[in-house]
Structure 1
Amino acid sequence: MHSAIDVIRAKRDGERLTEEQIDWVIEAYTRGQVADEQMAALAMAVLLRGMTPAETARWTAAMVASGETLALDGIRKPTVDKHSTGGVGDKITLPLTPLVAACGAAVPQLSGRGLGHTGGTLDKLESIPGWRARLSADEIRGMLNEVGAVVCAATEGLVPADRKLYALRDVTGTVESVPLIASSIMSKKIAEGVQSLVLDVKCGSGAFMKDLGQARELAAALVDIGTANGLRTSALITDMSVPLGRAVGNALEVAEAVEVLCGGGPPDVVELTLALAREMLGHAGLSDVDPAEVLADGRAYESWRQMIKGQGGDPEAALPRAEHVEVVTAAESGTLTRLDAYAVGVAAWRLGAGRARKEDDVQHAAGVLCLAKPGDRVTAGQPLLELHTDRPETFAGAAEALTGAYAIGGADEASAPLILDRVVADRAPTGPP
């Protein structure tokens, strides 16, 4: 007979949890037989003591077993998904999903909402009038067969253990545990039923993983779990020290994603979109398709239009615009040498683009436009950032967040590569592709 206290004590004392203990505690917590405070204690013990790869794999399997799975057996195309660990200005899902679908794969993107300084894909897409995030399993399968792409919320029955544990970790200081992050991500992806998965593991000030060592540890854990569960899995480790693109905030990021789909957009967003697309297409057996051509000739944009319309949205509708805009200007002339992703994310959050609690609403028009990026030459008085909000009283807090967030120097500095590493199963990191 198992008890929560025995499991907590075992992990507290650095012991390896048995498969039976893991299966029992996840099932009992999902059913409400293990209290939140007990699972919080266990989560803290895991954070401090860690878990072996075998423990993490079993924990993930127990999370998957807590609910239903999304059967994708009837999908006529190879199924492949992408997951990002979250960043500032990370709107890559928006152009990537329809692009990979236009190349011949089926892409089920079960996405989430933002919390804190990182934005949520569903919040961004809900900027589009009429678009809906909640779809039934049959609607998801229909979108995949008809359009090849869907971005939506997870169905209610998918991994209920993760929904409970994710919320608990957020309020108990246990978000940063690599085994808990990895099992949370991979349980949802395994339950999704895809054949292959590409992970975008962010590294830098605007990411959960602040340095390359941490990012490699997480990427390896994710790839190992996916491979152990029969998924073709790989990970790119990408820089998140600077915001991705120029737009940070829901409607602002949708507009930038559409620019990319129409053949324009910031070079870093295009570069990462194409790199992830190539990785996904390789897994799907479609490496002979050039995603750059599909992006350039309009097929990806048409796929976007069908995806948005298929979920009730109007791809031609005007996006929300902020009622108030304030500009941050350069104090001197020179080269912009630094623009801190975390600070920009916090500023956008304070302007209303994000939420402090899961139940909070977001302002779809709020956010930050980065008018200059590191490496750009600027002159004194030149606009660097635009702050967008419907609540002008938030400008002061956003400006405070940006104090010291950027630097102007006298000489150009070499910029870090966007793609820092690639991690595949049973091999050491291979370096930038």
Structure 2
Amino acid sequence: MTGATGNHTAVDVIRAKRDGARLTDDQIDWVVDAYTRGAVADEQMSALAMAIFLNGMDTAETARWTRAMVRSGERLALDVGRPTVDKHSTGGVGDKITLPLAPLVAACGAAVPQLSGRGLGHTGGTLDKLESIPGWRAQLSVDEVTAQLRSVGAVVCAATSGLAPADKKLYALRDVTATVESIPLIASSIMSKKIAEGADALVLDVKVGSGAFMKSLDQARALASALVSIGVDHGLRISALLTDMSVPLGRAVGNAVEVAESVEVLRGGGPADVVELTVALAEEMLSRAGVTASPADVLASGEAYETWARMIRAQGGDPEAPLPVGRHKHVVTAPEDGYLTGLDAYAVGVAAWRLGAGRARKEDPVQAGAGVLCLAKPGDRVAKGQPLLELHTDTPDAVPAALDSLTGGYAIGDAPPTRGPLVIETIRG
């Protein structure tokens, strides 16, 4: 029988979770290992994923599931001469924070091993953004990662194939079986990769709002709590910041345009919200790593930009090279006088995706120069005919679909809106 080894069968494990039972540690260890080895078939793991989606897993089950996924591959041992701390974001629109954050924290004295991913749908991918820099490469060996952490203090690269291979298989399966939106499966997916990465401490940026995966504060809080609980179970010094993603972060949404905005921040300028969140996350990361420094002062000094330039050069990139620009531009103007009262993050994210900045399938290419510039943000006073958004693309035929996605995505009123805090709350382990 497929999916039967030793004292277990896949059918027994599926049936247990289907009927609402708690999976034993032994069942979890066995099924994750057997699936990684190919002894449990995709259709059986699909059934189990749906049973988990419908019936959930408790805190102990989720922690054990994560541990089993970590054990499916290698775990890095990062001996780099300074404390290691990583950051993970659950994804948003204009969320380029990793780009200024990693060199800033490194310039403050910690080491940042940031293993990142690519974008899918309306949320951008850090690697796609960095690949718009001429010559920059995402694939590094473990030895190269370790050497760069020692010499520069920060590395942003693709995860090696040996880290949590069970997650790689299961992630692809969840994507095509409508089982993505399960907090135990999301939490174990994120944390298995981060634990395998080997950092001493971790800070999570859990986004909430229209442009985020978690639309409500209750959902985001539940995910953050699950992530922190897993981290504590694995001995990590861990925190989660719940941050607002109802409006795009900064003014640039895309790939090269987000790199350019990140460089502005590293040079002491840039949009206030990007600076605020970068500094807030840096403070939390340094606290978790046990490093005493003022990231705001380091950012103002220019040291973080110098670390950025060394980080880019170490991976073959030219930090001074001109960045790609979309060959075609289209401007969206204000239909009337007033205040911009809303700019929906999801609508802007979908527009950037349709312009070529993102992908519908993981194998699709992206355009480095595509994206959206938000020339006005909520609270700004605008005049009729004033540019609100600038759409960039190499494929002009994509503009009508991008404009369709922006229908209803912004609003103008007589009074400025009230905005809540960017950092809503913090959960610490």
2:339 aligned with 1:335, yes or no? yes
2:68 aligned with 1:62, yes or no? yes
* Distance apart, 1:416 and its partner CA: 1.6
Match for residue 16 of structure 1 among 7, 16, 22: 22
**Distance between the aligned counterparts of 2:237 and 2:189, measured in 1?**
18
Alignment correspondent of 1:86: 91
2:342 aligned with 1:374, yes or no? no
* Distance apart, 1:361 and its partner CA: 0.7
Alignment correspondent of 2:324: 320
TM-score, scaled relative to structure 1: 0.97
2:200 aligned with 1:195, yes or no? yes
Q: Secondary structure at the match of 1:131?
A: coil
Alignment correspondent of 2:253: 248
**Distance between the aligned counterparts of 1:56 and 1:269, measured in 2?**
33
Alignment correspondent of 2:4: none
**Distance between the aligned counterparts of 1:196 and 1:335, measured in 2?**
42
Alignment correspondent of 2:426: 422
**Distance between the aligned counterparts of 1:265 and 1:259, measured in 2?**
5
The number of residue pairs the alignment matches comes to 423
| Deviates further, 103-112 or 23-32 | 23-32
Alignment correspondent of 1:124: 129
Counterparts of 1:391-430 in structure 2 under 5 Å?
391-425=395-429
Counterparts of 1:63-212 in structure 2 under 5 Å?
63-72=69-78, 74-212=79-217
* Distance apart, 1:9 and its partner CA: 1.3
**Distance between the aligned counterparts of 2:24 and 2:110, measured in 1?**
39
**Distance between the aligned counterparts of 1:282 and 1:378, measured in 2?**
41
**Distance between the aligned counterparts of 1:59 and 1:124, measured in 2?**
32
Deviations 1:389-415 (A, max 9, x none): 000000011000000001100012211
Alignment correspondent of 1:300: 304
Give the partner amino acid of 2:282. Answer: A
Structure 1, unpaired ranges of 5+: 426-433
Alignment correspondent of 1:283: 288
Q: Secondary structure at the match of 1:169?
A: helix
Q: Secondary structure at the match of 1:423?
A: strand
Q: Secondary structure at the match of 2:8?
A: coil
**Distance between the aligned counterparts of 1:316 and 1:374, measured in 2?**
32
Identity of aligned residues (%): 74
* Distance apart, 1:48 and its partner CA: 1.1
Q: Secondary structure at the match of 2:88?
A: strand
* Distance apart, 1:129 and its partner CA: 0.6
Give the partner amino acid of 2:259. Answer: V
* Distance apart, 1:202 and its partner CA: 0.2
**Distance between the aligned counterparts of 2:374 and 2:177, measured in 1?**
33
Give the partner amino acid of 1:274. Answer: V
**Distance between the aligned counterparts of 2:189 and 2:57, measured in 1?**
14
* Distance apart, 1:276 and its partner CA: 0.2
**Distance between the aligned counterparts of 1:402 and 1:38, measured in 2?**
41
* Distance apart, 1:347 and its partner CA: 0.6
* Distance apart, 1:35 and its partner CA: 1.5
Alignment correspondent of 1:429: none
* Distance apart, 1:340 and its partner CA: 0.5
**Distance between the aligned counterparts of 2:361 and 2:12, measured in 1?**
32
Q: Secondary structure at the match of 1:362?
A: coil
Deviations 1:158-207 (A, max 9, x none): 11011111111112111111001100110011101111000000000111
Give the partner amino acid of 1:341. Answer: A
**Distance between the aligned counterparts of 2:407 and 2:174, measured in 1?**
30
Alignment correspondent of 1:266: 271
**Distance between the aligned counterparts of 1:420 and 1:137, measured in 2?**
36
Q: Secondary structure at the match of 1:88?
A: coil
Q: Secondary structure at the match of 2:87?
A: strand
Match for residue 41 of structure 1 among 30, 47, 68: 47
* Distance apart, 1:217 and its partner CA: 0.3
Alignment correspondent of 1:2: 8
Give the partner amino acid of 1:192. Answer: E
RMSD over aligned CA atoms reads 0.7
* Distance apart, 1:377 and its partner CA: 0.5
Alignment correspondent of 1:362: 366
Q: Secondary structure at the match of 1:173?
A: coil
* Distance apart, 1:345 and its partner CA: 0.5
Give the partner amino acid of 1:64. Answer: V
**Distance between the aligned counterparts of 1:167 and 1:370, measured in 2?**
33
Q: Secondary structure at the match of 1:118?
A: coil
| Deviates further, 266-275 or 6-15 | 6-15
* Distance apart, 1:104 and its partner CA: 0.2
Q: Secondary structure at the match of 1:359?
A: coil
TM-score, scaled relative to structure 2: 0.98
| Deviates further, 413-422 or 232-241 | 413-422
Structure 2, unpaired ranges of 5+: 1-6
Q: Secondary structure at the match of 1:237?
A: strand
